[in-house]
């Protein structure tokens, strides 16, 4: 037991480090709308975020955990060394993105880190990656953009005269709207738990099952649940330490938004993510779904040229492209050198 504890210590610490970074990144798509509309205090966000992430992971996170724990790379390849390299690469790429202040896709970094390891180990499930996961990454942000653009261009203007103005004194009188916006933020956090906790929990669950042996392989689901219970609370820690900067970026620096519109956007992107989680178990980027929606809203309000000349939008696309590629290259290189 002591030997097993020492074998698992470094990978588990790296998983917790990753979860802290995911908490910082995931806070933005959950609470940027509510925070940007001044309906929730910054100090309340980490606790609420952590609770809903845990609930989402336990209730709706099974399929994504199986995809990341077995679907891309056979469970037997999750040795202490390979698992540590994968988690280190993901955590480092997300930490850099958080320090820059750009919410980054934990799912894309995780998938490509595992793919990098799988390529080096000659065990990559190319069908799962190229025919299921990557098409979903392309399709869902486009859907998020189209839905939001349609709503903001043709539906929201019909309601302009019926909605309260987006200022603190007016919004304080709209209790129903405030509650709806907060509930939508909690729903987004639940969706993040269903999809993103597996990024840290699934690799260490596969590693633990391997180290235990046949009994672990036959009881993989309980091991995933225990792994979730370990890493999910770290999301709240990350939200508290790192979440404010990325929440400020998305909530207040792309486009000013009416809280009602923010509620609709949050519900759209969270529903798309939850659909991907429970149907196919596809690790999907909520920050990109959320970013696509905010960009659509900005285009409808400020025009295409002004939106894409925004330095924050440019930074988003740059980091979104570089960080997953960095995870892939780093894991492939390290495992190739160390195996």
| Residues 221-268 pLDDT 10s | 888 888 999 999 898 888 888 665 555 555 455 556 666 777 778 888
**Is 223 domain-assigned?**
yes
Q: Is residue 300 part of a domain?
A: yes
The CA–CA distances, whole Å, from 84 to 2, 8, 16, 68, 204 equal: 19, 9, 12, 15, 9
The answer to the question of residue 144 being in a domain is yes
| Within a domain: 336 | no
Query: Are the C-beta atoms of residues 72 and 251 closer than 8 Å to each other?
Result: no
- pLDDT at position 91: 84
How high is the pLDDT of residue 134? 92
Residue 20, domain member (yes or no)? yes
Residue at 338 is within a domain: no
User: What integer pLDDT is reported at residue 70 of this predicted model?
Assistant: 86
Task: Output the pTM of the full model.
Answer: 0.85
d(CA 130, CA 111): 11
Predicted local confidence at residue 246, as pLDDT: 54
Residues of the chain falling short of pLDDT 50 = 251
Q: What is the pLDDT of residue 3?
A: 66
Q: Which domain holds residue 220?
A: 2-331
Q: Which of 336, 270, 337, 308 lies closest to 117 in space, CA to CA?
A: 336
CA distance 298 to 70: 40
* pLDDT of 298: 83
| Tally of domains in the chain | 1
Can you give the pLDDT at residue 98?
66
Is 337 inside any structural domain? Answer: no
Q: Is there a domain that residue 287 lies in?
A: yes
């Amino acid at each position: 037991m002591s030997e097993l504890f020492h074998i698992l210590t470094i990978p588990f610490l790296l998983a917790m480090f990753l979860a802290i970074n995911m908490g910082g990144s995931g806070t933005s798509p959950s609470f940027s709308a509510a925070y940007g509309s001044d309906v929730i205090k910054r100090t309340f966000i980490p606790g609420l975020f952590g609770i809903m992430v845990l609930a989402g992971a336990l209730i709706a996170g099974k399929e994504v955990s199986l995809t990341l724990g077995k679907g891309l790379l056979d469970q037997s390849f999750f040795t202490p060394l390979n698992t540590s390299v994968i988690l280190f690469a993901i955590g480092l790429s997300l930490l850099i993105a958080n320090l820059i202040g750009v919410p980054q896709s934990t799912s894309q970094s995780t998938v490509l880190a595992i793919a990098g390891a799988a390529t080096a180990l000659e065990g990559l499930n190319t069908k799962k990656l190229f025919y299921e996961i990557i098409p979903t990454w392309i399709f869902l942000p486009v859907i998020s953009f189209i839905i939001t653009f349609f709503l903001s261009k043709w539906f929201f203007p019909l309601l302009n005269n019926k909605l309260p103005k987006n200022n603190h004194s007016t919004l304080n009188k709209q209790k129903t709207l405030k509650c709806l916006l907060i509930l939508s933020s909690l729903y987004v956090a639940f969706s993040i738990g269903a999809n993103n906790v597996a990024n840290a929990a699934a690799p260490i669950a596969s590693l633990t099952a391997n180290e235990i042996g046949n009994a672990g392989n036959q009881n993989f689901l309980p091991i995933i649940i225990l792994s979730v219970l370990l890493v999910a609370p770290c999301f709240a820690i990350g939200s508290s330490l790192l979440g404010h900067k990325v929440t400020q970026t998305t909530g207040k620096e792309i486009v000013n938004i009416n809280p009602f519109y923010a509620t609709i956007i949050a519900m759209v992107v969270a529903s798309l993510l939850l659909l991907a989680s429970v149907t196919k178990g596809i690790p999907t980027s909520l920050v990109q779904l959320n970013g696509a929606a905010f960009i659509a809203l900005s285009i409808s309000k400020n025009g295409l040229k002004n939106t894409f000349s925004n330095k924050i939008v440019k930074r988003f696309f740059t980091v979104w492209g570089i960080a997953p590629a960095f995870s892939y290259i780093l894991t492939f290189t390290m495992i190739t050198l160390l195996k």
